[in-house]
Amino acid sequence: MDFNTVHTLISEEELYQRIKELGEQISRDYEGKVVHLVGILKGSVFFLCELAKHITCQVTMDFMSVSSYQNATKSSGVVRLVKDLDEPLEGKDVLVVEDIIDSGHTLSYLLELLGRRNPNSLKLSTLLDKPDRRVVENVNVDYVGFVIPDEFVVGFGLDFQQEYRNLPYIGYFKADEEQAE
Protein backbone atom coordinates (compact mmCIF):
# COMPACT_ATOMS: atom_id res chain seq x y z
CA MET A 1 0.00 0.00 0.00
CA ASP A 2 1.31 3.44 -0.74
CA PHE A 3 0.15 6.96 0.04
CA ASN A 4 -1.97 7.07 -3.13
CA THR A 5 -4.41 4.47 -1.83
CA VAL A 6 -5.25 6.57 1.22
CA HIS A 7 -8.46 8.57 0.98
CA THR A 8 -9.14 11.64 3.05
CA LEU A 9 -11.59 11.25 5.92
CA ILE A 10 -10.73 14.44 7.83
CA SER A 11 -8.74 17.18 6.11
CA GLU A 12 -5.86 19.11 7.65
CA GLU A 13 -8.03 22.25 7.85
CA GLU A 14 -10.86 20.43 9.62
CA LEU A 15 -8.36 18.94 12.10
CA TYR A 16 -6.83 22.31 12.93
CA GLN A 17 -10.23 23.99 13.31
CA ARG A 18 -11.62 21.32 15.63
CA ILE A 19 -8.45 21.05 17.74
CA LYS A 20 -8.49 24.83 18.16
CA GLU A 21 -12.07 24.58 19.47
CA LEU A 22 -11.07 21.83 21.90
CA GLY A 23 -8.14 23.95 23.11
CA GLU A 24 -10.47 26.88 23.74
CA GLN A 25 -12.93 24.67 25.63
CA ILE A 26 -10.13 23.20 27.77
CA SER A 27 -8.80 26.72 28.47
CA ARG A 28 -12.23 27.71 29.82
CA ASP A 29 -12.66 24.53 31.87
CA TYR A 30 -9.20 24.73 33.46
CA GLU A 31 -9.02 28.49 33.94
CA GLY A 32 -6.49 29.39 36.67
CA LYS A 33 -5.12 25.84 36.79
CA VAL A 34 -2.08 24.12 35.34
CA VAL A 35 -3.13 21.47 32.80
CA HIS A 36 -0.86 18.45 32.98
CA LEU A 37 -1.11 16.79 29.57
CA VAL A 38 -0.29 13.07 29.51
CA GLY A 39 0.35 12.03 25.91
CA ILE A 40 0.06 8.39 24.96
CA LEU A 41 2.93 7.57 22.60
CA LYS A 42 3.20 7.55 19.75
CA GLY A 43 -0.15 8.18 18.11
CA SER A 44 -1.18 11.21 20.16
CA VAL A 45 1.89 13.31 19.50
CA PHE A 46 0.55 15.38 16.57
CA PHE A 47 -2.75 15.99 18.38
CA LEU A 48 -1.05 16.91 21.65
CA CYS A 49 1.27 19.46 20.03
CA GLU A 50 -1.56 21.17 18.17
CA LEU A 51 -3.88 21.10 21.19
CA ALA A 52 -1.27 22.53 23.57
CA LYS A 53 -0.80 25.55 21.28
CA HIS A 54 -4.44 26.52 21.81
CA ILE A 55 -4.55 26.13 25.59
CA THR A 56 -4.17 29.50 27.26
CA CYS A 57 -3.62 28.17 30.82
CA GLN A 58 -0.21 26.98 31.98
CA VAL A 59 0.57 23.59 30.48
CA THR A 60 3.00 20.90 31.56
CA MET A 61 3.38 17.60 29.74
CA ASP A 62 4.61 14.08 30.18
CA PHE A 63 4.44 10.97 28.01
CA MET A 64 3.88 7.29 28.43
CA SER A 65 3.61 4.30 26.17
CA VAL A 66 1.28 1.32 26.38
CA SER A 67 0.69 -1.58 24.06
CA SER A 68 -2.23 -3.92 23.69
CA TYR A 69 -2.01 -7.56 22.72
CA GLN A 70 -4.37 -7.23 19.79
CA ASN A 71 -3.74 -10.28 17.63
CA ALA A 72 -2.81 -12.90 20.19
CA THR A 73 -5.57 -12.19 22.69
CA LYS A 74 -8.06 -10.21 20.70
CA SER A 75 -10.91 -10.20 23.16
CA SER A 76 -8.96 -10.22 26.43
CA GLY A 77 -8.02 -6.55 26.13
CA VAL A 78 -4.76 -6.96 28.04
CA VAL A 79 -2.85 -3.69 28.03
CA ARG A 80 0.84 -3.53 28.96
CA LEU A 81 2.78 -0.52 30.26
CA VAL A 82 5.81 -0.05 28.00
CA LYS A 83 7.14 3.31 29.18
CA ASP A 84 5.97 5.02 32.34
CA LEU A 85 5.69 8.74 33.04
CA ASP A 86 8.75 10.67 34.26
CA GLU A 87 6.90 12.54 37.00
CA PRO A 88 4.33 11.72 39.72
CA LEU A 89 0.71 12.84 39.22
CA GLU A 90 -0.05 13.63 42.86
CA GLY A 91 -2.14 16.81 43.13
CA LYS A 92 -2.03 17.53 39.38
CA ASP A 93 -4.91 18.29 37.03
CA VAL A 94 -4.27 15.54 34.54
CA LEU A 95 -5.65 15.42 31.02
CA VAL A 96 -4.86 12.21 29.13
CA VAL A 97 -4.38 12.80 25.41
CA GLU A 98 -5.09 9.82 23.13
CA ASP A 99 -5.24 9.47 19.36
CA ILE A 100 -8.28 7.22 19.12
CA ILE A 101 -10.67 5.26 21.31
CA ASP A 102 -11.67 1.99 19.72
CA SER A 103 -12.55 -0.94 22.03
CA GLY A 104 -11.92 1.30 25.05
CA HIS A 105 -9.47 -1.13 26.68
CA THR A 106 -6.51 1.28 26.57
CA LEU A 107 -8.30 4.26 28.12
CA SER A 108 -10.03 2.09 30.70
CA TYR A 109 -6.63 0.68 31.76
CA LEU A 110 -5.08 4.15 31.87
CA LEU A 111 -7.95 5.58 33.88
CA GLU A 112 -7.45 2.94 36.55
CA LEU A 113 -3.65 3.09 36.57
CA LEU A 114 -3.38 6.88 36.66
CA GLY A 115 -6.34 7.29 39.02
CA ARG A 116 -4.42 5.36 41.68
CA ARG A 117 -1.66 8.00 41.63
CA ASN A 118 -3.83 10.61 43.39
CA PRO A 119 -4.15 13.33 40.78
CA ASN A 120 -6.29 16.32 41.79
CA SER A 121 -8.43 15.60 38.72
CA LEU A 122 -8.27 13.17 35.81
CA LYS A 123 -9.94 13.73 32.45
CA LEU A 124 -9.66 12.08 29.05
CA SER A 125 -9.36 13.53 25.58
CA THR A 126 -9.17 11.78 22.24
CA LEU A 127 -8.86 13.09 18.72
CA LEU A 128 -11.02 10.30 17.29
CA ASP A 129 -13.79 8.12 18.65
CA LYS A 130 -15.07 4.92 16.99
CA PRO A 131 -18.12 4.19 19.17
CA ASP A 132 -19.28 1.22 17.05
CA ARG A 133 -16.26 -0.75 18.22
CA ARG A 134 -16.64 -0.13 21.94
CA VAL A 135 -16.30 -3.17 24.20
CA VAL A 136 -15.63 -1.43 27.51
CA GLU A 137 -18.69 0.70 28.19
CA ASN A 138 -17.67 2.57 31.33
CA VAL A 139 -15.10 4.89 29.74
CA ASN A 140 -16.29 8.47 29.74
CA VAL A 141 -14.23 10.63 27.38
CA ASP A 142 -14.45 14.33 28.28
CA TYR A 143 -13.13 15.84 25.05
CA VAL A 144 -13.68 14.18 21.66
CA GLY A 145 -12.42 15.67 18.40
CA PHE A 146 -14.37 13.64 15.87
CA VAL A 147 -16.71 10.66 15.99
CA ILE A 148 -15.82 8.44 13.03
CA PRO A 149 -17.29 5.31 11.41
CA ASP A 150 -15.74 1.87 11.85
CA GLU A 151 -12.89 2.30 9.34
CA PHE A 152 -9.19 1.73 9.93
CA VAL A 153 -7.65 5.19 9.80
CA VAL A 154 -4.10 6.49 9.48
CA GLY A 155 -2.30 9.83 9.55
CA PHE A 156 -1.86 12.75 11.95
CA GLY A 157 -0.01 10.37 14.28
CA LEU A 158 -1.98 7.19 13.63
CA ASP A 159 -0.14 4.33 12.00
CA PHE A 160 -0.56 1.18 9.97
CA GLN A 161 2.35 -1.09 10.98
CA GLN A 162 4.26 2.00 12.19
CA GLU A 163 3.94 3.82 8.85
CA TYR A 164 1.70 6.70 7.66
CA ARG A 165 1.96 8.66 10.93
CA ASN A 166 3.33 11.67 9.04
CA LEU A 167 0.30 12.14 6.76
CA PRO A 168 -1.01 15.63 7.63
CA TYR A 169 -4.67 14.50 7.47
CA ILE A 170 -6.73 11.51 8.66
CA GLY A 171 -7.17 8.98 5.88
CA TYR A 172 -8.56 5.52 5.33
CA PHE A 173 -7.84 2.67 2.97
CA LYS A 174 -10.51 1.57 0.54
CA ALA A 175 -10.41 -2.19 0.93
CA ASP A 176 -11.87 -3.09 -2.48
CA GLU A 177 -9.87 -0.53 -4.44
CA GLU A 178 -7.62 -3.01 -6.24
CA GLN A 179 -10.48 -5.20 -7.47
CA ALA A 180 -12.37 -2.14 -8.67
CA GLU A 181 -9.56 -0.97 -10.95
Question: Which residues contribute to the site for ligand IMP (CB under 6 A)?
Answer: 43, 68, 98-106, 152-154, 158
Q: Tell me which residues in 140-169 interact with Mg ion (CB under 5 A).
A: none
Do the strands 6-10 and 121-129 form a parallel or antiparallel pair, or are they unpaired? unpaired
Measured from the CB atom, is 50 or 99 closer to Mg ion? 99
50 binding partner (options ligand IMP, Mg ion, none; Cβ < 5 to 8 Å by kind): none
In angstroms, the first-to-last Cα distance of the chain is 15
**Minimum distance of ligand IMP from residue 131's CB (angstroms):** 11
154 near 124, Cβ under 8 Å?
Answer: no
Measured from the CB atom, is 122 or 127 closer to ligand IMP? 127
| Bridge partners of residue 33, in order along the sequence | none
Contacts with Mg ion by CB under 5 A: the residue count is: 2
Starting at the edge strand that comes first in sequence, how are the strands of the sheet with 6-10 ordered? 6-10, 170-173, 153-154
Q: Tell me which residues in 77-136 interact with Mg ion (CB under 5 A).
A: 99
6 binding partner (options Mg ion, ligand IMP, none; Cβ < 5 to 8 Å by kind): none
Measured from the CB atom, is 93 or 99 closer to Mg ion? 99
Do the strands 93-101 and 34-41 form a parallel or antiparallel pair, or are they unpaired? parallel
Q: Which residue, 131, 127, 126, is CA-closest to 141?
A: 126
Helix axes 45-53, 12-29, angle to 10 degrees: 60
Measured from the CB atom, is 54 or 165 closer to ligand IMP? 165
Q: Looking at the annotation, which residues are catalytic?
A: 102
Q: Tell me which residues in 14-43 interact with Mg ion (CB under 5 A).
A: 43
Residues near Mg ion (CB under 5 A): 43, 99
